[in-house]
A and B are shown apart, each in its own frame.
Chain A
Amino acid sequence: MIESNNKKKLDGVILMNDIKFTHDIMQEHEVERYFKIWRESVIRSRLTITAVFLKTANATQLNENVNDQVTSFLQSKIRKTDLLFQLSDGDHWGIFFLQSSDVEARAFLKRIFAILKAERKFQQIALKASITEIRNNNVIFEELLNKNKQMLSGDEQLTWSIAEVKDYCEQPTELVKVSIIEQNAIFRQVLESTLKQINIPYFSLDVKVYEDGYSFLQSDDYKSGHMHLILMNDILPLKNGLEILHILRHMPNEKKFIIYMMSERNSEGAALNAYEGGVDEYIVKPFNLRLLEAKIKRTFARFWQ
């Protein structure tokens, strides 16, 4: 039966007959092109993709009806941002969850398994699954498929169980430029030491210090494409913090800047003005260094969800 299905798919003439069978489901070769784009977005946009592969637990179960039922069931359960496709061998389904981690994929699988087990109309169906969280671009589509197929091929994996391929879950370490612009030399040194000691998983900080706004702008360091954390005072010699803020926020790639502004002015008006100008955090001096560290860590934690 499986063999005949495969033959049908290869045969363009009788492809129309397959429409009912496949429910307009995308096929492996069609998905590969999209996958290549998403794979690059993983790094560029820091989007985690999670791939889920499903297979019927008992190969002899697979007939057209079961296949059809599984496909339509899966299609009814995925979100509009998820992509369901069928592998060319006809007995595996794949789902790509964009912007989702393995935690969400696992929750999804547990939910659908519970429904399949509970509802009488699905009593013929028994599935097993594997999850692969993708956080880097070292993954090749074919290799991803093979690893998951291999994971699902053995008899040792139990029905309704979820295996995991962990080969691509390690995200690369990203270089972040950090510029501290502060006139007071002693405090500047304190900030430098604090930021050099800070440990943020998957991000390495390249810290540079400037004593005034003009030397920062002259450095051209802010023109590179790296993510750039700027910790600056609102009042600075030569070019003040608000001027720098204005320049940075009017650059075409301004989104790469995370701007923390420090100020002695503890007024709502000053804070409002700074936020409207585009700062990400307005910190009133004197402040707790541990609090600054926590804020920075939280900012970076948001980048990979």
Chain B
Amino acid sequence: MIKMTVSTLLGIISFLLVVLFIFLMYLLVQRQRESYFEKVRDRYLQNYSQLWYDYLFNNALFSIVLVPRGSAQVEAIEKIFSSYLKNIRNEQVELKIKQFSNQYLKAFYEKDLSSKRWSIRMNALYRIADLQIDELLTKCQEFEKNNITDEEHFQLLKIYSLFQPDLFMEKIKNSNVNYAESEYRRLFILLDDNVFIRFFHDFNSLSAKMQFAVIDTAAVKRNMEYLDELKKLLHHDTPEINIRALKGLYEIGIIDEMDPFIPFVTSEMWEARLMVAKIFKHVPLTYTYSYLKQLLQDENWWVRSQAAKTIVEDRHGIAKLQQFIESSNDQYAIEMAQEIAARKEGK
């Protein structure tokens, strides 16, 4: 058992009480500062939201009172700008926000980039991209030389893609960071078409994840320009790329020639056969029926099902299926044709 005199015990208790008191005071001061910050921010929002609206949308004159004094007011402006940019599309407004941010917010974010706190640096990087503060591009390049996290690097790539696509292309190809496909897609979707198409030109030098992301992004962008590029990828050595290219072409939905797809009717990969059965939806049945008939007798259930669905989409589809049911010996195919035809007629 520890022996302690009453005076020592009292001393310890007093010390703990003092520590507790100091901690309490610290919390109170912090809370006070926080509530003052919120008060300043909310007052700015309350007083100047309408002025901002008039300046941005109604071409009212710019008032100097809108220039922020302190980080609380910067946060209020961030709120206003992000609400506008997220909800409203207006080139003139975007330009005004960009000009204002470059002139009055640049210094705040430049300082934030040097912060020791990761969250403050990340917030600055997000705002630089959202508010299009291109005057901080050089600062961002300097920032990259520091010991930064993968998330910060990703955000920097986003900034480069917006402000200097050539730099972005160079950086992303030489990047040591291996991002997920979805992250690459998030970056690629921001690129202009004339920049994005460059990925197809040196497709083979990209990592597999980037290659997949390029194909998927092309499908989402639905641009006619990418049709030929995707068709070229149908001859690629990697089966996964063939399948993704087929999927991309299906998503774009414009089939101008049949020849590139016909070899896939007899492909060894059932996924490729499935995709080609889907693609034939975009071609009149008169050109595709013989291939779809073959796919309807495929060994794979998904392929058979898709072939029947594609046939039935056509105006004469049900009649064709009936004809097939009467003439075929393939019991699996007949059952599939019957099921899909019945479902269509049931509608």
Contacts and interface: CB of A to CB of B under 8 A. Distances in A.
Nearest to A264: B86
A287 B53 contact: no
B169 to A, nearest CB: 26
A271 to B, nearest CB: 15
Is chain B's interface secondary structure helix, strand, loop, or mixed overall? helix
A186 B79 contact: yes
Interface stretch (A94-102, A187-195, A201-209, A217-225): A187-195
A186 B88 contact: no
A186 B83 CA distance: 6
B155 interface: no
Contacts of B88: 187, 190, 286-289
A245 B162 CA distance: 38
A265 interface: no
B90 A190 contact: no
A285 interface: yes
Contacts of B80: 186
Chain B interface residue bracket vs A: 10 to 19
A187 B93 CA distance: 14
Interface string A160-198: 000000000000000000000000101101100100000
Interface string B66-91: 00000000000001100111111110
Contacts of B49: 186, 189
Nearest to B54: A193
Contacts of B86: 184, 187, 264, 285-286
B83 A286 contact: no
Nearest to B76: A186
B57 interface: yes
Chain A to chain B: the 6 pairs with minimum beta-carbon distance, closest first: A186-B83, A286-B89, A187-B87, A187-B83, A288-B89, A285-B87
Given A190-B84, A286-B87, 19 more contacts: A184-B83, A184-B87, A186-B79, A187-B84, A187-B86, A189-B53, A190-B57, A193-B53, A262-B87, A264-B86, A285-B86, A286-B86, A286-B88, A287-B87, A287-B88, A288-B89, A289-B57, A289-B88, A289-B90
6 contacts: A190-B53, A190-B87, A190-B88, A264-B86, A286-B87, A288-B90
Interface of B: 45, 49-50, 53, 57, 79-80, 83-90
